[in-house]
Every structure is written in C-alpha cells, then in structure tokens.
Amino acid sequence: IAVDADNLIAMPDAVTFEQAASLPIAYGTAYRMLISRGRLQPGELVLILGASGGVGTGCVQIAKNLKARVIACASSASKLKRLQELGADYVIDYTKEDFSRRAWEISGKKGVDVLVNYTGGDTWVPSLRTLARYGRLLTCGATAGFDPKTDIRYIWRREVNIVGANGWTRQDLEALLAQVERGSIKPIIHAVYPLAESREALRVMEDREVFGKIIVTP
C-alpha cells in the first residue's frame, strides 16, 4: 500500500505496535478532551464516567499525570479496584449509587470542576447537576443516546461550559507517543486477539467485560 508520507507518524522504537494501535481512538480522544479542549489544570477535581473503557482509562492516566484529582465511575468492584491501581483518588459504582449525589459529597458539596461524559442519555442531567460553578462538561460521544432530556437551569445558574471534542489531531497523537515512549502513559490493553477470533473480541466488548482496549492483530 502506498500512503502519502504527510499522513504518517513515526513510531518510536520503545513503543510497540499494540500500544500505538491503542492511541488514536481511545487515548487520542481522551487527550483532546482533557488537554486540547478541556484545559484541565493541576489540582482540579474531574469525574470520569465509563472510566474502565479505552477512553476512560486514558482519561484517568492523563488526568493523574497532570496532578488532577480523579473520581472514576465504573460498573463493578473489580473494575473499580483496577481504576484505583491506575491512580484514581475516588471510585463510584454507578450501578449501586447515584454518581451525582456521591460526587457532590466527595467534592464537599461544591461540585466537580470537570466532568467527562461520552454516554449522554440518562446521565446527561445528573452530569450537569454534578458540576461546580464555572465547571466544564466534556463530551465526545453519546453511547446511551444523543438526544437526552436536559435542564438548562444548571447551565446558566452555575455558568458552566459544555465542550465538545471530536476525535484527535496529529499533534495530539505525537504528544501521546512521546509520553508512551517516556513511560508516563501506559496504554491499558485488555487482550490481543488474532483476526480469526475477532468475533470473540466483539463479544467481550458487547458484554462489557473489557477493561481498557481490545486489540485485533492480522
């Protein structure tokens, strides 16, 4: 295959093909949301919904590298334990408790500075309710529905910002590759499947058994 050289990014020797394959969709999206668009700052409190997935684990690592405080939300005790091992300061099982109410308590009833929401649907209004004054709600997708009910009172009363992020740029990926090369970012790979087992790879994703990224190799 012939590709225009301008569309290629050199892989450092210290970065594996599996690690590089994890970056564009998951870590690239996470980096663009938190850094390029969200302007996350050291010391800020950030809540990450769906923190056990590819984008979520990327958000946790990127936020902790920036010395932000992280509230990670996931759906099982085993996933929450692994998120704590990644550096999450607080964890919430959203299947057992209201993440908005719990995060409000964690924040000392002030709200979170930044909230990552790529689910939409029923999580949208609780996310708005969780934000602090001048908080930022970051979104890059809507896996649970793109046309949720909303409540704009939270937007004007707390003067919050809703910030969209669509994918990633070359600069985002180059910055991530440099961090992987240094070891400050370690892509979380759930499993590597050969192409012949791609059906199983899809099943694992659909059954929500994934922590991090699934890689399929030719």
Tens of pLDDT along the chain (218 residues) come to: 899 998 899 999 999 999 999 998 889 999 999 999 999 999 999 999 999 988 999 999 999 999 999 999 999 999 999 999 999 999 999 999 999 999 999 999 999 999 999 999 999 999 999 999 999 999 999 988 999 999 999 999 999 999 999 989 999 999 999 999 999 999 999 999 999 999 999 999 999 888 989 999 98
Q: Report residue 64: phi and psi, to 5°.
A: -70, -35
Bridge-partner residues for 47, per DSSP?
Answer: 71, 115
Amino acid at 85: E
d(CA 73, CA 91): 6
Instruction: Give the separation between CA 18 and CA 66, rounded to whole angstroms.
Output: 25
pTM for this one?
0.90
**pLDDT tens, 131-142?**
999 999 999 999
Over residues 51-90, the pLDDT tens digits come to: 998 899 999 999 999 999 999 999 999 999 999 999 999 9
Q: How many CB atoms lie within 10 A of CB 218?
A: 4
Q: How many CB atoms lie within 10 A of CB 10?
A: 8
What percent of the chain shows pLDDT beyond 90?
Answer: 90
Q: Hunting for tokens 């929500």 — which residue is that?
A: 208
